Structure 1
Amino acid sequence: MSRPSHAALDRPIWSALTTKQAHLGQGDALARRFHPEVAPFAAVASATPDAWRALHALLRPGEQVAILSTDTVAGIDGLQAKHVGTINQMIATRRFTQSIDDSDVIALGHADVDDMLALVERTKPGPFGKRTREMGRYIGIREQGELIAMAGERMAIDGYVEISAVCVDERCRGRGLAGRLMNILRKQIGERGDTPFLHVFSHNEGAIALYERLGFDVRHAFALTQISRAAS
């Protein structure tokens, strides 16, 4: 498994928006954000007044984005900052090479967006918009035509791919569907020479325990901050 410098993981949003996923965002050398329908994430090159002003210019009045930072963000001129919580970044410590049943797993595309959004609304795995699927490969399981489980790839940087939007309909939990979908993605990501990683709220002990069983270890903790521009 390829293991380039972890430095890009220290600033995953900025790294994604300035490399492999630059086409999904907007901004300049000071501040960048994903298109609103792709993901609600933004980043600044450094915590300077000029960078915050550049981020301000990217937001419409009343609009908000989320950023990850090592320290709590406060005192931004023209912007409001609200601490949301602590996010643990977890990274796969070993490559997944086992065979796994994928006979009922399908690739999800444009035609599945409405069903993907409906599943997200029921299960609340985290931010997911109309164009989030463009960030990477998404897979799922249907039963009697209904999408009951999915997982996918979100941020992509050199050597690393994030697994996200792991969700299972409440009626179908306890069957190992989330772990199976994650392992399929882990295997595919590893076969491409990349290392899987993910983000999870530090208080979500159940999810963290699952990810640890699947071979992920906590690497770093970030402050998740909601940045908003006041309505005019």
Structure 2
Amino acid sequence: MSTPTQPAPAEAGASPATPALSNPVYAALTGPHAPFAEVRGNARRYPAAVAPFLALPEEPTEADWTDAAALVGPGTTVALMRPELPVPDTFKLDRAIDLMQFTAPAELPAADPEAIKLGPDDVPDMLALVALTDPGPFRSRTIELGTYLGIRRDGELIAMAGTRFSLPGHTEISAVCTHPSARGQGVATRLIRAVAADITAAGRSPFLHTGGSNTTAIRLYESLGFTVSNRMKVTLVKAV
């Protein structure tokens, strides 16, 4: 059915990969985020209003894929985030996007006095900023996954970042975005550091993902001391 897929070997100078980091959505939905999981057999998914991600074990069986198709439902598109693997006939492949995963250096965390905690009342502004900047999936209930921080000036939300996947020992920094009018001012860096401070205060290690072709983000993360822990794919598939 499907052949075993091994995580890509670590690059020179990269952080050592862990099984949780190589299959982060499954690690989250079978771990700290289990209360969010919609489940059928070994297949897991977030509710559609929370996140578009489907999760399967490291080496999914034919039964796992069958359960995943039933869990998702015909005509529904979901995303897998993991090393690439063959897609069976129960799903139609849409596209696969290169993804780089980075882990944070110990010196990254730093609180920021201008950063404020965002809540449900801020979601419309958060969705508007995401629509303008496209940092990746962020939906009406994504805020429930963790803590999101933002910077407002003259009442306008000009930047935000927060936590998404929660794994054993690790928490993901996500939704890093800055309004075009505020770019080049270092606000994204400040929010990344502030979110990392919250993560480390909880005894966890920060990590994040970015598109493999997003050279601007990659340069930023490397300048902050992040190191590559995995190269994987976001694979969009539709149940048939």
For residue 192 of structure 2, give the secondary structure of its aligned residue in structure 1.
Answer: helix
Deviation at 1:27, TM superposition (A): 0.9
In the TM superposition, 1:169-208 aligns within 5 A as 169-208=179-218
2:125 — aligned with what? 115
For residue 189 of structure 2, give the secondary structure of its aligned residue in structure 1.
Answer: helix
Deviation at 1:17, TM superposition (A): 0.4
Looking at structure 1, the residues matched to 175 and 233 of structure 2 have their Cα atoms a distance apart, in angstroms, of 20
Identity %: 40
Quick one: which amino acid aligns to residue 172 of structure 2? Answer: E
CA RMSD of aligned residues (A): 1.8
Number of residue pairs aligned between Structure 1 and Structure 2:
225
Instruction: Find 1:42's aligned residue among 46, 54, 57.
Output: 54
Deviation at 1:52, TM superposition (A): 0.6
Does 2:38 correspond to 1:26? yes
For residue 129 of structure 2, give the secondary structure of its aligned residue in structure 1.
Answer: helix
Structure 2 unmatched runs, 5+? 1-14
Can you list the C-alpha shifts for 1:87-134, whole angstroms capped at 9, x where unaligned? 111101324355x5x232110011111111011001110000001011
In the TM superposition, 1:1-232 aligns within 5 A as 6-45=18-57, 46-74=59-87, 76-96=88-108, 98=110, 100=111, 102-230=112-240
Looking at structure 2, the residues matched to 107 and 69 of structure 1 have their Cα atoms a distance apart, in angstroms, of 30
Structure 1 unmatched runs, 5+? none
For residue 97 of structure 2, give the secondary structure of its aligned residue in structure 1.
Answer: strand
Deviation at 1:5, TM superposition (A): 8.2
2:7 — aligned with what? none
- TM-score if structure 2 supplies the norm length? 0.89
Tell me which moved more, 34-43 or 62-71.
Answer: 62-71
Deviation at 1:226, TM superposition (A): 0.6
Looking at structure 2, the residues matched to 159 and 141 of structure 1 have their Cα atoms a distance apart, in angstroms, of 28
Looking at structure 2, the residues matched to 200 and 113 of structure 1 have their Cα atoms a distance apart, in angstroms, of 22
Tell me which moved more, 59-68 or 125-134.
Answer: 59-68
Looking at structure 2, the residues matched to 220 and 103 of structure 1 have their Cα atoms a distance apart, in angstroms, of 33
